[in-house]
Chain A
Amino acid sequence: MQWRDTIRTATEAVRTHRLRSALTMLGILIGITAVILTVGLGNGAKADVRDQINELGTNLLVVSPGSSTDSSGVRGGFGSSSTLTIEDAEAIADPEAAPDVQAVAATATSSVSLTNGDTNWTTTLTGTTPSWAEVRSREVTSGRFIDEDDEDAAAAVVVLGPDTASELFTTGNPVGQYVTYNGSKLKVIGVLEELSSSEETANNDLAIVPFSTYSERLVGGSGRDSVSSIYVKATSEATLSAAYQETNALLLNLHGLTSADDADFSIATQESILTAATSVDKTMTVMLGGIAVISLLVGGIGVMNIMLVSVTERIREIGLRKALGARPRSIRRQFLVEASVLGFAGGVLGVGLGIVGAIVLPHLTDTRVILSLTASLAAIAMAIGIGVVFGVYPASRAARLAPIDALRSE
């Protein structure tokens, strides 16, 4: 018997018994829909993280004090003074030394309490250079950002994060008004635009002052020049690794180190942060995946059950085909192909329903579903596989029937 005839016979049998075929497919359909949505939700979550990072800039490197190779992470990294200084940042910003670096912003931070009259609010005071806005791709919604003049004069000015502004100034425009830190009055010159997709409250709750103001007037103390992070923006995503090399080489050189193993700083890329973020989603993916596996298993058992019913019901047909010369192998193949046709149809419909779900779900909840072609094709292949695996037993039952018992049955 030729394969074409086997497939034709199987599809005819599926079409002849429409209702039964539809019920058989149902389990597989639901399982495949679950698979498609699981993968789609996972991809959506990943894309959300990626978007957040894109908002910050994918071509961003973050240099932190302390060694990444030293597991204790203490090698001069913490304590009274950081291993990173404002001079390091200035060196990296030199276009001759690091041509692939577009802009650099060093930050020094500390947690402080700001007051406006009776209101006080604890936030992260950040001393940085005017390049910060460019490096972090942030803008102000009102007023202006700090500039070189503020830096040179160590001006008593501050730019507030949107959340900080609304906490300290419940009414009216904060720009032009004053906040007090530790007895020093700081004039509010601008408010940052809200970073909407960010889960990090630190992005919307902060107070930025010129680095000079921070180190000379407000926090100071020992190690005036030390910074807590240096943000390095590469000229493009493509030059990110070149910028990484340049930054690394410059800092090793400046710190008088000959081997990268001795580095007293570490450089993180957004990519490495993304990896950390997606690993958190794994638990959820495993859970949803479990649901998909269980429903596919139930679907497969459904196929087996209904195929067994089908074999019993069509026992006369099987007997007749055997009388006309069908070998056991042909009968087995016919039922196996029939089961896989059911699996295939269930798989295709399941993918279809998954697509509908991917369109509808985002309207109902604020989740994002991203479908992938490979996952869809793999799901259909899986559905066919389930049909075959669970069709084996019914098919060999049919193949083993004695022709006469099959013919005689009423």
Chain B
Amino acid sequence: MSAVLQLAAISKTYATGAVEVQALRGVDLTIDQGEFVAIVGPSGSGKSTLMHILGCLDTPTAGTFHLAGDDVASLDEDRLADVRNRHIGFVFQQFNLLPYLSAWRNVELPLVYTGTDRHERRERALSALAQVGLADRADHKPGELSGGQQQRVAIARALVTEPAMILADEPTGNLDSVSTADVLGLLDHLHAQGRTIVLITHEQDVAERAERIVQIYDGQVRTEEVAGAVA
């Protein structure tokens, strides 16, 4: 399979005043097209920092990052926006839904930026909501939905553009066990459709849903293991 994400000697240093924090120290990582990878590590180990770089939301201090063969450092802001828009779907721990928009209006947001016409946007948003089992909640505002439902709306938003890759940063961190099972089930399903899934978590049992687990500790990849082998 072809490598869709290639990180070589990636470092990220945050300079906050006098203190410098080395969030990533020379990460080498390759993720293939269609893989389901879990990135596991304790809090503060650099997982979110890594995901932001993978999602073209942030730039590394050193090292190179190739996305589908392109060197990300060579892309301008507009191209990066287009990459995020068409090829990546994000799922965040805090859901990040806009509170004043109904569920389907939240889901259609990425399509607004692709210039899709209104009618088609609504149809695709409703079908994405149906995929996550929330067709009957399309007109509810986020405040009228449970945490699990809100995260499913966020997943619908991530998949509405049919992206090749889903990046999920602790998507179950704020959820109860039933909702966690729902969300992981959806990620399995998306993986089964052939999408690349990168799931970030600090919980080992959540990580075991993946095909491959990447352990990260103190900004460095410690071990890579095949999920089945550990359990």
Identify the A interface with B (CB < 8 A). 1-2, 4-5, 9, 12, 16, 316-317, 320-330, 402-404, 407
A320 adjacent to B57 (CB under 8 Å): no
- Interface footprint category on B: 20 to 34
- Contacting A at CB under 8 A, from B105-119, are 109-110, 112-115, 117-118
Find chain B residues with CB under 8 A from A4 CB.
118
Find chain A residues with CB under 8 A from B55 CB.
323
Find chain B residues with CB under 8 A from A404 CB.
52, 57-58
**The residue from B84, B86, B112 contacting A1, defined by CB atoms under 8 A apart:** B112
10 A-B pairs with C-beta separation under 8 A: A316-B96, A320-B98, A322-B84, A324-B110, A324-B157, A325-B110, A327-B81, A327-B82, A328-B78, A403-B58
B96 adjacent to A320 (CB under 8 Å): yes
A322 adjacent to B81 (CB under 8 Å): yes
| B77 interfacial by beta-carbon distance below 8 Å | yes
- Expressed in whole angstroms, the minimum distance between the Cβ of A167 and any Cβ of chain B is 75
| B172 interfacial by beta-carbon distance below 8 Å | no
B81 adjacent to A325 (CB under 8 Å): yes
A407 adjacent to B84 (CB under 8 Å): no
B98 adjacent to A328 (CB under 8 Å): no
Find chain A residues with CB under 8 A from B96 CB.
316, 320, 323, 407
Cα–Cα distance between A12 and B98 once the two chains are bound (Å): 12
| B90 interfacial by beta-carbon distance below 8 Å | yes
Known: A12-B100, A317-B98, A407-B96. A323 touches B84 (CB 8 A): yes
| B85 interfacial by beta-carbon distance below 8 Å | yes
Q: Chain B, 57-98, contact with A by CB distance < 8 Å: what is the 0/1 string? A: 110000000000000000001100110111000101000101
Cα–Cα distance between A316 and B86 once the two chains are bound (Å): 21
Cα–Cα distance between A19 and B98 once the two chains are bound (Å): 19
Q: Which residue of B lies closest to A399 (CB)?
A: B77
Q: Which residue of B lies closest to A320 (CB)?
A: B96
Known: A1-B113, A5-B112, A404-B58. A324 touches B85 (CB 8 A): yes
**The residue from A1, A5, A16, A330 contacting B100, defined by CB atoms under 8 A apart:** A16
Known: A5-B112, A407-B96. A327 touches B57 (CB 8 A): no
Identify the B interface with A (CB < 8 A). 52, 55, 57-58, 77-78, 81-82, 84-86, 90, 92, 96, 98, 100-101, 109-110, 112-115, 117-118, 157, 161
Q: Which residue of A lies closest to B89 (CB)?
A: A324
B113 adjacent to A407 (CB under 8 Å): no
Q: Which residue of A lies closest to B110 (CB)?
A: A324
- Expressed in whole angstroms, the minimum distance between the Cβ of B97 and any Cβ of chain A is 9
Give the top 5 A-B pairs by smallest Cβ distance, nearest first.
Answer: A325-B85, A325-B113, A404-B58, A327-B81, A324-B110
**The residue from B57, B98, B118 contacting A323, defined by CB atoms under 8 A apart:** B57
B78 adjacent to A324 (CB under 8 Å): no
Known: A404-B52, A404-B57. A327 touches B113 (CB 8 A): yes
A324 adjacent to B113 (CB under 8 Å): yes
Find chain A residues with CB under 8 A from B92 CB.
407
B115 adjacent to A1 (CB under 8 Å): yes
A330 adjacent to B98 (CB under 8 Å): no
Find chain A residues with CB under 8 A from B82 CB.
325, 327
Known: A5-B112, A403-B57, A404-B58. A325 touches B86 (CB 8 A): yes
Find chain A residues with CB under 8 A from B117 CB.
2
B90 adjacent to A330 (CB under 8 Å): no
A407 adjacent to B77 (CB under 8 Å): no
- Expressed in whole angstroms, the minimum distance between the Cβ of A59 and any Cβ of chain B is 62
Cα–Cα distance between A9 and B112 once the two chains are bound (Å): 10
Cα–Cα distance between A369 and B85 once the two chains are bound (Å): 55
**The residue from A316, A330, A402, A403 contacting B113, defined by CB atoms under 8 A apart:** A330
Cα–Cα distance between A322 and B90 once the two chains are bound (Å): 11
Find chain B residues with CB under 8 A from A317 CB.
98
Interface centre among B86, B100, B113, B118 (most CB of A within 10 A): B113
Find chain A residues with CB under 8 A from B110 CB.
324-325
Find chain B residues with CB under 8 A from A329 CB.
78
Interface centre among A320, A325, A403, A407 (most CB of B within 10 A): A325
Question: 10 additional contacts, CB 8 Å, given A323-B96, A325-B86, A403-B58?
Answer: A1-B115, A5-B112, A320-B96, A321-B113, A324-B109, A324-B110, A327-B77, A330-B113, A402-B58, A404-B52
